[in-house]
Structure 1
Amino acid sequence: MSEPQAQGWPVRFALRSAAFAERWFPDAYVFAVAGVVLVAACAMGFGASPAETAHAFGEGFWSLIPFTMQMAFVVIGGYVVATAPVVARFIDLLARVPKTGRGAVVYVGLVSMLASLLSWGFSLVFGGLLVRALARRTDLAMDYRAAGASAYLGLGAVWAMGLSSSAAQLQANPASMPPGLVEITGVLPFSQTIFLWQSIVLTAILILASLVVAWLTAPTGDAARTARDFVDVDEAKAPALPPRTRPGEWLEYSPLLTVLLSLLAFGWLFGEFASKPAVSAIANLNTYNLLFLSLGLLLHWRPRSFLDAVSRAVPATTGVLIQFPLYGGIALILTHAVGRGGETLAHRLSEVFVQVASTDTFALVMGVYSAVLGFFVPSGGGKWIVEAPYVMQAANDLQFHLGWAVQVYNAAEALPNLINPFWMLPLLGVLGLRARDIVGFTFLQLLVHIPLVLGLLWVLGLTLQYVPPVAP
């Protein structure tokens, strides 16, 4: 009996899904373009003019440029820090913990999900770097695809249930809310959203279920494809700094500029963390990126070493730079291309779901809607700003617990992340993989998560009572 046949049925199913994805799943760029075409066709089908649809796409194309650069710097900053000698040794130390390839896959998933509850950006980069370190262990025979999929579980499973939840952060801070929303929802502190016991139970179950699936579907033995089938795993180790060859390079090899620039950067960071809770400060992408870049600069010590690390990191940002603008175009077509009756496609989607809901079924209906729309508008905070006014008004009308409505959105909005390459790109850049390499495994997670998430949202929602909005 061949090794693949000797695997359990979950592994065989995972291998078939992976093989199908490797053969048929398009490059993430093709996926994004197809999404643009589909959404544009739907918008025009509901009455938006071609000119208005094109205008919305053009306006949206550049709308995510700040976020695109932030995500690119997530990759660059994480790579620069990880390739600093002292951090590389720490990650290698963590990579000694697992004893088997299958155990390593589960270990990566646990680290990724726990880290994502604090900061999704940290989870994305750190999980990928941990996989790279584990991949250098020849004794593990770890399946690189399955480990990459586990590193993505933080973004695909529970990130929005933690402190970096954009929706929960926005609802707890009235100054951040768009006009009109605070009158509908009032202020919803964390005690009414991510710190509800129902939310904690839901998060714990999702983590446990994700780890079980990761364990059951991780190929072993000859069925496992190691990192050496995909990348040069030793690439992550920074080469030795070449010697200085001319007098004009002395500042590149001197720590003087590093010290002066670090004083400025860490001075600003100190002010941020002193004036805000640490979890709020680190959840801000600008703060997170500056922290990592500053740490990378300081840990590399010499500007030449830092610049060499940045040069090696930049190619990993290619997918982010060329594809994120397409998602910006999709978002504005959905929300700004007005069709018949003065309604956008996003509002028409909401009507389909909200009109058929009752108090008891609102969690299910809203969960399905958020998951479907999240596949086309992969932006936790930005999409909530679009959805919240009419979704939360429906929750008020149906007297559904407002804080749990936020958590319904959070849990369901993460579902499409499991197969949507939008959020995968920074991780894929670190791993040197393509979306098709890991989506076969994340697809199986999605099959388990859909009924589990929707069922728990419905059942746990029945334990909560409606509380009228509280004005700020």
Structure 2
Amino acid sequence: MFTNTNAKKSNGSLLWRFSQKFEFAAENIIPDPLVFCLILTLILFVSGVLFTDFGPTDMVNSWFKGIWSQIGFAFQMSFMVVTCSVTARSKQVKGMLSKFAGLAKTPVTAIILLMIFGYVASFMNWAFGTIATPVLAMLLSKKIKGLHFPMLIAAGYSTMILGQCLGPSASVYALIAGQDHFLVDKIGVITQDVSVYNPLNTILFFILAIGTIILTIMAMPPKDQIVEFKGFDDEDESEEEVSKTTGKLSFADRMNGSRLIMYLIGLGGLVVIGTTIFEKGFLGSLSLNFVIFIFLIANFFLYGSPAKFVGAYKNNMSLATDVMIQFPFYGGISGMMIDSGLGQVIVGGFTAIATAETLPFFAYISASIVNLFIPSQGGQIIVQGPILIDAALSLKANVPHVLNAFVYGDEATNLLQPLYVIPALAIVRMKLKDVWGYMAFIWLFWLIVTSIGLLVLPNFF
């Protein structure tokens, strides 16, 4: 599936050599995602016992409760991975994306095309961006020689993360724009023209977005160290054909191969999609469930018969394994973090030393740390929000800037914490260690640029 074009190795550019320092760590230190998750669980358990009033039994009980709080989300994500993969591996979609990939003629233009596509897809919905970007990366890699596939996947994944910082679907921005959010008594309703599209946030986003594209291009490996994607051995088995019989088809056979049934159900789904978009608008409709539903209904038309439809899902079901297993364990981590008050301890330690000018920076750093253990923006704002807002009001800091910093911190360490990259890795059948080094490389760039931006840009706005 993945091949190195040459056994001989050359040095490459300075940025490539620097990125390989992270690759060494990924290869020799970073375990598989499940082990990574279990290690975080143990670290948080010990920290909670040492630094909070919770005892071992309290921590274990919170872990247990947290596990089951994420079962619904685990199924959502698992179903999303399988359903989107079924869509992506259909002949029709592969044909359309293949034509789009044909717009790129060189490795550099392929990187630019992929990352711009990723930003736009993530702007619409993070789940769509998570799945669609690696699919496009595979097609680009088949068409253009000289693309380093692990870096392509890491860079594409980074667009999904960064897109949330300027996208209207981010949990925090959607929350505080509502009339009855839990912080409304302190900050009122903050609409997205103020929370998302203020000058500081917009400028910082484009600096990071353009900078990440340039960084990826400049860190391209020398030709003899490129790892190319060659496709999967079973990629032509995405559809399960209806079994052929020499005799007359039975009524059951006709039902199993019926296009009419599929199209009638698909038509009902199109009615739901159309009315939802009409009522809420396109961007307002793009919840996680709605995005999954769009792909599900598409598959009714793409596969055309119940037998092919079920066969395609069977062939892709194994992709959900890691997601289904690991998401509940991250729920357990979040449960311990929230119940023990350890999150408040971490955030409070930073806000205690902040000033009005430095609070956005400390909000960013504290959010980056807490996100390692609570990889859910909605859950994280419940822990950090009251402390950050109280500090902002007390110090007379700019509240939207503090919230922007929180979002950047929450998103940035998704490059280190592997939860949300698992669906992308499942689609391309890669291991975490294959891409983590490049993800950490991009994270360091973001850390430096965002820290400087949050300390400097507020002085001008």
TM beyond 0.5: yes
The question of 1:35 aligning with 2:40 is answered: yes
| Conserved? CA contact 2:401–2:458, under 8 Å | yes
Q: Say which SS state the counterpart of residue 358 (structure 1) adopts.
A: coil
Partner of 2:328: 325
Partner of 1:153: 158
| Conserved? CA contact 1:109–1:214, under 8 Å | no
What is the rounded CA distance, in whole Å, between the counterparts of 1:376 and 1:306 in structure 2? 38
Partner of 2:260: 256
Aligned pairs for 1:379-398 (under 5 A) are 379-398=376-395
Q: Deviations over 1:71-113 (max 9, x none)?
A: 1122122112212222111111112122233442343223212
What is the rounded CA distance, in whole Å, between the counterparts of 1:387 and 1:275 in structure 2? 33
| Conserved? CA contact 1:370–1:412, under 8 Å | yes
In the alignment, which of 207, 232, 235 is matched to residue 205 of structure 1?
Answer: 207
Q: Say which SS state the counterpart of residue 414 (structure 1) adopts.
A: helix
Q: Say which SS state the counterpart of residue 291 (structure 1) adopts.
A: helix
| Conserved? CA contact 1:117–1:158, under 8 Å | yes
The question of 1:25 aligning with 2:22 is answered: no
| Conserved? CA contact 2:237–2:315, under 8 Å | no
What is the rounded CA distance, in whole Å, between the counterparts of 1:328 and 1:423 in structure 2? 13
| Conserved? CA contact 1:161–1:410, under 8 Å | no
| Conserved? CA contact 1:102–1:219, under 8 Å | no
Q: TM-score, normalised by structure 1?
A: 0.91
Corresponding letter in the other structure for 1:295: A
Corresponding letter in the other structure for 2:28: R
| Conserved? CA contact 2:242–2:307, under 8 Å | no
Q: Say which SS state the counterpart of residue 462 (structure 1) adopts.
A: helix
Distance 1:244 1:458, change over 3 A: farther
Distance 1:262 1:240, change over 3 A: closer
Partner of 1:365: 362
Aligned pairs for 1:140-289 (under 5 A) are 140-175=145-180, 177-178=181-182, 181-228=183-230, 232=232, 235=235, 238-239=238-239, 241-245=241-245, 247=250, 248-282=252-286, 284-289=287-292
Partner of 2:346: 349
Q: What is the percent sequence identity of the aligned residues?
A: 22
Following TM superposition, by how much is the alpha carbon of 1:218 offset from its aligned partner in structure 2, in angstroms? 2.1
Q: Say which SS state the counterpart of residue 163 (structure 1) adopts.
A: coil
Q: TM-score, normalised by structure 2?
A: 0.93
The question of 1:309 aligning with 2:315 is answered: no
Q: Say which SS state the counterpart of residue 444 (structure 2) adopts.
A: helix
Moved more, 68-77 or 241-250: 241-250
Following TM superposition, by how much is the alpha carbon of 1:17 offset from its aligned partner in structure 2, in angstroms? 2.7
Following TM superposition, by how much is the alpha carbon of 1:132 offset from its aligned partner in structure 2, in angstroms? 1.7
Q: Say which SS state the counterpart of residue 69 (structure 2) adopts.
A: coil
Distance 1:20 1:233, change over 3 A: farther
Q: Say which SS state the counterpart of residue 149 (structure 1) adopts.
A: helix
| Conserved? CA contact 1:112–1:150, under 8 Å | no
Q: Deviations over 1:190-210 (max 9, x none)?
A: 111111122211111111111
Following TM superposition, by how much is the alpha carbon of 1:2 offset from its aligned partner in structure 2, in angstroms? 8.6
What is the rounded CA distance, in whole Å, between the counterparts of 1:325 and 1:398 in structure 2? 38
| Conserved? CA contact 1:132–1:236, under 8 Å | no
Aligned pairs for 1:8-23 (under 5 A) are 8-23=13-28
Following TM superposition, by how much is the alpha carbon of 1:120 offset from its aligned partner in structure 2, in angstroms? 0.9
| Conserved? CA contact 2:165–2:205, under 8 Å | no
Structure 1, unmatched stretches of 5+, are 338-343, 465-472
| Conserved? CA contact 2:66–2:335, under 8 Å | yes
What is the rounded CA distance, in whole Å, between the counterparts of 1:65 and 1:201 in structure 2? 38
| Conserved? CA contact 2:10–2:224, under 8 Å | no
Following TM superposition, by how much is the alpha carbon of 1:234 offset from its aligned partner in structure 2, in angstroms? 6.4
Distance 1:243 1:220, change over 3 A: farther
Corresponding letter in the other structure for 2:96: F
In the alignment, which of 413, 437, 441 is matched to residue 440 of structure 1?
Answer: 437
Corresponding letter in the other structure for 1:144: F
Following TM superposition, by how much is the alpha carbon of 1:421 offset from its aligned partner in structure 2, in angstroms? 0.7
Q: Say which SS state the counterpart of residue 17 (structure 2) adopts.
A: helix
Moved more, 68-77 or 31-40: 68-77
